[in-house]
């Protein structure tokens, strides 16, 4: 029997192939949940990156764990943008999609994700399905897609995989990986290595079976597909790593020398804690899953108070719950790092979808005047290094540092230079030396507001920290001088930090007709849109902010060099074309609001809350529109 | 020539500490408030165990009870309403070498912090937790608390409170990993001290409910018990507390209760009158969360570097260019 199968597969007949060289391509692999499209996508991205392509991946996640099979809303998988140069966002429309059934594909087509004439590789098992309604749906869909101008290739995934494994539902994904490797001209050796890595923890037999499936897919495509693509690869001298934003956050926590992370499960932050749980204990770190978000934050505060700075990781709703505790850390001046991997809000909102909706909550969400540092990560690599910076600032200034990431960075993957460890990243050992006689627990420096806190274990430093107004001795004090002194110094520390910050570089020329400001995950899409407009001869530049509180000096000067200024963000702003909306009541996006108040400039905004990573083409269109308006 | 322990200590250069070494500030509690008795007991406990003030941390939430750390000349953390336990857990996880005490009230622990109470019992970290239970909100000026007896007239329940009082002991005794539960009253100083000392000796979370007078808002609530010693039931056992002969002359209502017996503990816990006093439950074998999690493990930069490199290896896509 086995022999016969082998003969059936036979040597691939010679076939004339058209080979197209491309600068880039966007591929999607989608299936029902649990069929392995995500794993296939990740592996494909890994192969492309190893081969020297620039990549960016976007996870396609249904909202439910087990959505009904073959449902339009149930697509699960991955988008991989592969290019001949580095890319920093998921790009615009899909060029080639592999779908395990026609229903999940319909969802992507209706969402407008496919470019006109895109290639579709579709599992053909449904054509002969015993349920006539399924067979009919499949046939109708294929006809309809062809009528709409898509190139549909039906692939006998099930049939081919059944020759190798009893349950093709597990394994089809590696067959597809083989097909894609053939189409995109990737070598089988790199692909085999990637499969070994993907199933690294499993039985060698599992790896062997999956390699066979990979090879079968490759051979099938070599024999049956009459086209191939080639995306030139880059020669990169330095060692590169490729990982998701949440993995980079977790590794950043480890590299920062923080030792305790307290968290409560919440999407999309949790995968960072999952990964940290796996690796942290090996280096003496602890991930504590607390009973709730408040406990996670107060646990971290207690840990910080008694030793090294601790971190708590959450998403929007959890961030709101932590706000009272954040106020305590601000008031008692205890270092704390809070990571908020933002998602669509308010309330439970869109847990798996990206949005930049929590910027103002990060700055102003705490009751009273609670100055704190807010840093936004703008890429995968930045997720790693930001954690090191955050820990350092929190301990130097005895302050709260809020790190804003979002769902699009959480699951996106991109290569970046492999970090080279430095001991300077780590926190110094906890000070246990005796406190000088007469020293006070809050000896605020008159110029900077900075002081050296006393840590339990330091002889002579005994005092009680409190969230109540207090004097330099940490004694509860209700007199107005003490209260004002505390408010002044807690605020002053932020100014002292601000004096050390450098203004980010302008992307493009220093002057022009339009300056676009952004923060966080939208950096890649904004800069790509700016590049496209500059290539058209438009005088557009962008400035991406990493520190949002405090903002570095120099931004105001940069703004003066442009006749139009706007932000591009992924949060709500009122559209100006609605009859009820005018200059008096328009609600601006978060960064626009901050820039308007600080620089007294008419900063406009364009925002996208589609729940998808922002696309360069949409940004470019918004910029073109803005350029069509009169200058300010 | 022999020396006793005290002489040894004296000769080693460290004079034993006095109660005054643990005192700071002037308590602002009302006259007759049970918090004063608890503070005195804690200062005595520190003195008797010669606790290094710099290695001792008193953590509290918000409420009258939670002012206690301000009057201890140790490290202190006067935290947020309801959150004393998670703060204390963080302290202990970060620094298992520190002695950590928690002062919390009936509102703080049993109402706004109830979730943390239940889970703190499960974590069973080595903390001595004092529940200052005066059965009323004091700092916010008289509102019914979870332990207010039904019918308590307060500013939020002018016609009397509507709900039966929560019994913190029976709830505590129903939680997995509970390892030490005791009850005592503020008006018997000797027992107050002995029960807290037994809790301190226990490695794990000692939950000590201290029934406490609030002369301002619940005047006379416990008068019947104070006037009739028979209405206090002393739990007596070598595994718990053995009342002195002197105390036994006044408090004759005693029962032998082995705190290793959780069923008996649960029966006793439900008694409101007489008030059971002593150690209800003790299990020295419940693992402490900080031990399970290997808190305080020595950690060197080299460990971090090695851990990081091992992880980065997994993500490296061009290893040939590395190193």
Q: Taking a contact as any Cβ pair under 8 Å apart, which residues of chain B between 187 and 246 contact chain A?
A: none
pLDDT band at B296 (very low <50, low <70, confident <90, very high): confident
Residue of A240, A456, A464 with shortest CB distance to B318:
A240
Distance CA A529, CA A619 (A): 6
pLDDT tens for each residue of A376-385: 999 999 999 9
* pTM, rounded to two decimals: 0.95
DSSP H or E segment with residue A119: strand A114-123
pLDDT band at A14 (very low <50, low <70, confident <90, very high): low
- With CA atoms as reference, the chain A residue closest to B119 would be A291
pLDDT score for A63: 72
Q: Which residues contact A447 (CB under 8 A, 6 or more apart)?
A: A492, A496
Sheet with B275-282, side-by-side order of all strands: A464-466, B75-78, B56-60, B99-105, B128-133, B206-211, B180-185, B275-282, B232-236, B254-256
The 3-state secondary structure of B112-173, one letter per residue: HCHHHHHHHHHHCCCCEEEEEECCEECCCCCEECCCCCCCCCCCCCCCCCCCCCCCHHHHHC
Distance CA A404, CA A338 (A): 9
The verdict on a CB contact (< 8 Å) between A291 and B116 is yes
- What would the mean pLDDT of A161-184 be, rounded to a whole number? 95
A73 vs B279, which has greater pLDDT? Answer: B279
* Cβ(A123)–Cβ(A155) below 8 Å: yes
Q: What are the φ and ψ backbone dihedral angles of A538, each rounded to 5 degrees?
A: -80, 150
pLDDT score for A7: 38
Residues of chain A positioned with their CB less than 8 A from the CB of B25: 475
* Cβ(B86)–Cβ(A290) below 8 Å: yes
Distance CA A363, CA A545 (A): 15
State the smallest CA–CA distance between residue A102 and chain B in angstroms: 34
Q: Tell me the pairing of strands B143-144 and B136-137.
A: antiparallel
CA torsion through residues A77, A82, A86, A92, sign: negative
The verdict on a CB contact (< 8 Å) between B79 and A298 is yes
The verdict on a CB contact (< 8 Å) between B94 and A260 is yes
The verdict on a CB contact (< 8 Å) between A302 and B87 is yes
Concatenated DSSP letters of A121-184: EEE-GGGG-SSHHHHHHHHHHHHHHHHTT-EEEEE-HHHHHHTT-S-TTTTHHHHHHHHHHHHT
Distance CA B188, CA B182 (A): 14
Indicate the angle between helix axes A523-535 and A616-628, nearest 10 degrees.
50
Distance CA A263, CA A135 (A): 47
A242's tokens:
């490729």
Residues of chain B positioned with their CB less than 8 A from the CB of A459: 52, 54
- With CA atoms as reference, the chain B residue closest to A468 would be B78
- With CA atoms as reference, the chain A residue closest to B58 would be A464
Q: Which of A605, A599, A622, A626 is nearest to A512 (CA)?
A: A626
Residues of chain B positioned with their CB less than 8 A from the CB of A328: 79-80
State the smallest CA–CA distance between residue B94 and chain A in angstroms: 5
CB pairs under 8 A between A and B: 203
Q: Which of A200, A208, A305, A219 is nearest to A262 (CA)?
A: A305
A578's tokens:
């609605």
- What would the mean pLDDT of B294-303 be, rounded to a whole number? 88
The verdict on a CB contact (< 8 Å) between B95 and A307 is yes
pLDDT band at B13 (very low <50, low <70, confident <90, very high): low
The string over A387-422, giving b where at least 16 C-beta atoms fall within 10 Å of a residue's C-beta and e elsewhere, is bbbbbbbbbebbbbbbbbbbbbbbbbbbbbebbebe
For tokens 């929590």, what's the residue? A358
Q: Establish if B176 touches chain A: CB-CB under 8 angstroms.
A: no
Q: What are the φ and ψ backbone dihedral angles of B64, each rounded to 5 degrees?
A: -55, -45
Q: Establish if B292 touches chain A: CB-CB under 8 angstroms.
A: no
Residues of chain B positioned with their CB less than 8 A from the CB of A468: 78
Q: What is the mean pLDDT of chain A?
A: 95
Residues of chain A positioned with their CB less than 8 A from the CB of B86: 290-291, 294-296, 298-299, 302
- Is residue B71 pLDDT above 50, yes or no? yes
- Is residue B320 pLDDT above 80, yes or no? no
* Cβ(A289)–Cβ(A263) below 8 Å: yes
- With CA atoms as reference, the chain B residue closest to A50 would be B317
Q: Which residues contact A111 (CB under 8 A, 6 or more apart)?
A: none
State the smallest CA–CA distance between residue B232 and chain A in angstroms: 36
Query: Alpha carbon B148 to chain centroid distance?
Result: 20
Distance CA B231, CA B210 (A): 16
* Cβ(A354)–Cβ(A525) below 8 Å: no
Alpha carbon of A84 to those of A24, A26, A604: distances in Å?
6, 12, 35
Residues of chain B positioned with their CB less than 8 A from the CB of A276: none
A606 vs A11, which has greater pLDDT? Answer: A606
Distance CA A13, CA A207 (A): 28
Q: What is the CA radius of gyration of chain A?
A: 27
pLDDT score for A8: 43
Q: Rounded to the nearest 10 degrees, how much is the dihedral formed by the CA atoms of A415, A417, A423, A427?
A: -40
Q: What are the φ and ψ backbone dihedral angles of A31, each rounded to 5 degrees?
A: -150, 180
3-state secondary structure of B62: coil
Alpha carbon of A119 to those of A223, B15, B20, B202: distances in Å?
18, 85, 83, 70
3-state secondary structure of A286: strand
Is B245 exposed, middle or buried, given 0-12, 13-18 or 19+ CB atoms closer than 10 A? exposed
B37 vs B4, which has greater pLDDT? Answer: B37
Q: What is the DSSP letter of A428?
A: P
Q: What are the φ and ψ backbone dihedral angles of A167, each rounded to 5 degrees?
A: -120, 90
Half-sphere exposure in the Cβ direction for B223 (13 Å, CA): 5
Q: Which of A185, A114, A179, A184 is nearest to A153 (CA)?
A: A179
pLDDT band at B256 (very low <50, low <70, confident <90, very high): very high
State the smallest CA–CA distance between residue A45 and chain B in angstroms: 11
Q: Which of A525, A530, A524 is nearest to A507 (CA)?
A: A530
Alpha carbon of A626 to those of A342, A514, A516, A565, A601: distances in Å?
28, 8, 10, 9, 16
pLDDT score for A1: 31
pLDDT score for A202: 73
* Cβ(A229)–Cβ(A20) below 8 Å: yes
Q: Establish if B138 touches chain A: CB-CB under 8 angstroms.
A: no
Q: Which of A153-157, A302-306, B119-123, B311-315 has the lowest mean pLDDT?
A: B311-315
- Is residue B299 pLDDT above 90, yes or no? no
Distance CA A241, CA B259 (A): 58
pLDDT tens for each residue of A576-630: 999 999 999 999 999 999 999 999 999 999 999 999 999 999 999 999 999 998 8
* Cβ(B284)–Cβ(B198) below 8 Å: no
Q: Establish if B68 touches chain A: CB-CB under 8 angstroms.
A: no
pLDDT tens for each residue of A242-256: 999 999 999 999 999
Distance CA B49, CA B45 (A): 6
- Is residue A303 pLDDT above 90, yes or no? yes
Concatenated DSSP letters of A359-383: HHHHHH-SSS----EEEE--SHHHH
Q: Which of B54, B33, B164, B170 is nearest to B105 (CA)?
A: B33
- With CA atoms as reference, the chain A residue closest to B73 would be A462
* Cβ(A43)–Cβ(A234) below 8 Å: no
Runs of H (alpha helix) within A456-538: 480-498, 523-535
Q: What is the mean pLDDT of chain B?
A: 94
State the smallest CA–CA distance between residue A396 and chain B in angstroms: 19
pLDDT tens for each residue of B179-238: 999 999 999 999 999 999 999 999 999 999 999 999 999 999 999 999 999 999 999 999
Ramachandran region, residue A202 (left: φ > 0; alpha: ψ -120 to 50; beta: rest): beta
pLDDT tens for each residue of A203-226: 889 999 999 999 999 999 999 999
Residues of chain B positioned with their CB less than 8 A from the CB of A237: 321
Q: Which residues contact A346 (CB under 8 A, 6 or more apart)?
A: A316, A357
pLDDT score for B321: 40
Distance CA A59, CA B72 (A): 54
pLDDT band at A194 (very low <50, low <70, confident <90, very high): very high
The 3-state secondary structure of B1-36, one letter per residue: CCCCHHHHHHHCCCCCCCHHHHECCCCCCCCCCHHH
Q: What is the DSSP letter of A287?
A: E
pLDDT band at B14 (very low <50, low <70, confident <90, very high): low
Q: Tell me the pairing of strands B128-133 and B99-105.
A: parallel
The 3-state secondary structure of A530-566, one letter per residue: HHHHHHCCCCEEEEEECEEECCCCCHHHHHHCECCEE
In DSSP terms, B136 is beta-bridged to B144
pLDDT tens for each residue of A421-480: 999 999 889 999 999 999 999 999 999 999 999 999 999 999 999 999 999 999 999 999
pLDDT score for A10: 47
Concatenated DSSP letters of B242-293: ---HHHHHH---EEE--TT-HHHHHHHHT--SSEEEEEEEE-TTSPPHHHHT
Residue of A254, A288, A461 with shortest CB distance to B308:
A254
């Amino acid at each position: 029997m086995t022999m016969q199968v082998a003969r059936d597969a036979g040597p691939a007949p010679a076939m004339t192939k058209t080979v197209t060289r491309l600068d880039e391509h966007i591929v999607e692999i989608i299936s029902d949940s649990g069929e392995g499209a995500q794993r296939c996508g990740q592996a494909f991205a890994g192969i492309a990156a190893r081969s020297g392509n620039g990549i960016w991946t976007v996870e396609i996640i249904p909202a439910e764990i087990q959505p009904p099979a073959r449902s339009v809303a149930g697509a699960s998988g991955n988008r991989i943008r592969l290019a001949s140069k580095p890319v920093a966002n998921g790009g615009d429309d899909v060029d080639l999609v592999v779908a395990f059934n026609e229903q999940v594909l319909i969802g992507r087509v209706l969402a407008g994700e496919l470019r006109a004439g895109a290639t579709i590789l579709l599992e053909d098992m449904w054509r002969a399905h015993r349920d006539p309604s399924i067979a009919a749906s499949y046939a109708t869909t294929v006809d309809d897609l062809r009528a709409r101008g898509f190139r549909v290739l039906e692939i006998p995934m099930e049939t081919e995989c059944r020759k190798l494994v009893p349950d093709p539902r597990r394994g089809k994904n590696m067959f597809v990986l083989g097909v894609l490797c053939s189409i995109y001209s990737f070598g089988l050796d790199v692909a085999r290595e990637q499969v070994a890595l993907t199933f690294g923890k499993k039985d060698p037999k599992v790896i062997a079976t999956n390699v066979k499936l990979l090879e079968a897919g490759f051979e099938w495509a070599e024999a049956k597909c009459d086209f191939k693509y080639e995306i030139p690869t880059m020669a990169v001298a330095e060692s590169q790593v490729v990982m998701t934003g949440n993995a980079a956050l977790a590794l950043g926590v480890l590299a920062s020398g923080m030792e305790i992370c307290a968290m409560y499960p919440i999407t999309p932050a949790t995968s960072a804690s999952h990964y940290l749980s796996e690796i942290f204990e090996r280096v003496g770190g602890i991930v504590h899953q607390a009973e709730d978000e408040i406990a996670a934050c107060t646990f971290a505060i207690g840990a910080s108070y008694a030793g090294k700075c601790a971190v708590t990781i959450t998403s929007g709703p959890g961030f709101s719950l932590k706000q009272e505790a954040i106020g305590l850390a601000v008031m008692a001046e205890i270092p704390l790092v809070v990571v908020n991997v933002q998602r669509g809000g308010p309330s439970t909102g869109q847990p798996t979808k990206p949005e930049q909706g929590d910027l103002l909550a990060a700055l102003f969400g705490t009751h009273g005047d609670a100055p704190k540092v807010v840093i936004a990560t703008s890429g995968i690599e930045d997720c790693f290094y930001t954690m090191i910076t955050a820990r350092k600032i929190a301990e130097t200034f005895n302050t709260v540092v809020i790190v804003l990431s979002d769902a699009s960075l959480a699951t996106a993957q991109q290569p970046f230079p492999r970090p080279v460890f430095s001991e300077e990243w780590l926190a110094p050992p906890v000070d246990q030396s005796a406190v000088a006689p007469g020293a006070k627990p809050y000896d605020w420096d008159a110029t900077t507001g900075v002081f050296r806190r006393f840590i339990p274990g330091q002889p002579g430093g005994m005092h009680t920290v409190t969230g109540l107004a207090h004097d330099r001795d940490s004694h509860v004090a209700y007199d107005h001088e003490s209260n004002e002194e505390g408010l002044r110094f807690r605020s002053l520390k932020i100014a002292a930090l601000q004096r050390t910050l450098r203004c980010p570089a302008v992307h493009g020329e220093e002057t022009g007709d339009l300056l676009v400001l952004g923060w966080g995950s939208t950096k890649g899409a904004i800069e790509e849109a700016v590049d496209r407009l500059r290539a058209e001869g438009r005088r557009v530049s962008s400035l991406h902010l990493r520190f949002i509180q405090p903002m570095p000096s120099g931004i105001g000067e940069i703004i003066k060099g442009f006749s139009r200024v706007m932000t591009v963000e992924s949060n709500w702003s009122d559209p100006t074309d609605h009859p009820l909306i005018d200059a008096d009541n328009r609600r601006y996006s978060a960064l626009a609001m901050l820039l308007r108040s600080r620089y007294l400039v008419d900063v406009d905004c364009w925002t996208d809350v589609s729940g998808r990573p922002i696309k360069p083409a949409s940004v470019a269109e918004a910029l073109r529109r803005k350029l069509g308006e009169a200058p300010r | 020539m022999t020396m006793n322990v005290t002489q040894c200590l004296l000769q080693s250069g460290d004079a034993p500490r006095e109660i005054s070494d643990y005192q700071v500030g002037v308590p602002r509690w009302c006259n007759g408030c049970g918090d004063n008795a608890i503070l005195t007991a804690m200062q005595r406990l520190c003195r008797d165990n010669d606790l290094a003030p710099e290695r001792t941390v008193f953590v509290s939430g918000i409420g009258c009870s939670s002012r206690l750390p301000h009057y201890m000349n140790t490290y202190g953390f006067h935290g947020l309403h309801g959150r004393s336990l998670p703060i204390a857990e963080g302290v202990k996880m970060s620094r298992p070498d520190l002695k950590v005490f928690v002062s919390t009230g009936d509102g703080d622990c049993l109402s706004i912090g109830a979730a943390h109470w239940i889970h703190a019992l499960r974590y069973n970290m080595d903390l001595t937790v004092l529940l200052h239970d005066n059965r009323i909100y004091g700092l916010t000026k008289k509102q019914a608390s979870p332990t207010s007896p039904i019918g308590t007239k307060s500013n939020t329940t002018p016609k009397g409170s509507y709900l039966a009082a929560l019994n913190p002991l029976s709830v505590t005794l129903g939680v997995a990993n509970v390892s030490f539960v005791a009850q005592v009253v503020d008006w018997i100083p000797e027992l107050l001290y002995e029960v807290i000392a037994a809790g301190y000796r226990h490695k794990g979370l000692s939950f000590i409910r201290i029934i406490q007078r609030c002369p301002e808002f619940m005047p006379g609530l416990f008068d019947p018990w104070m006037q009739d010693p028979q209405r206090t039931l002393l739990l007596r056992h070598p595994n718990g507390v053995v009342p002195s002969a002197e105390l036994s002359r006044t408090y004759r209502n005693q029962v032998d209760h082995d705190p290793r017996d959780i069923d008996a503990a649960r029966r006793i816990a439900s008694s409101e009158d007489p008030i059971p006093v002593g150690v209800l439950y003790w299990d020295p074998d419940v693992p402490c969360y900080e031990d399970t999690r290997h808190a305080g493990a020595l950690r060197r930069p080299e460990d971090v570097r090695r851990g990081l490199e091992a992880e980065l290896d997994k993500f490296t896509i061009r290893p040939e260019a590395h190193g």
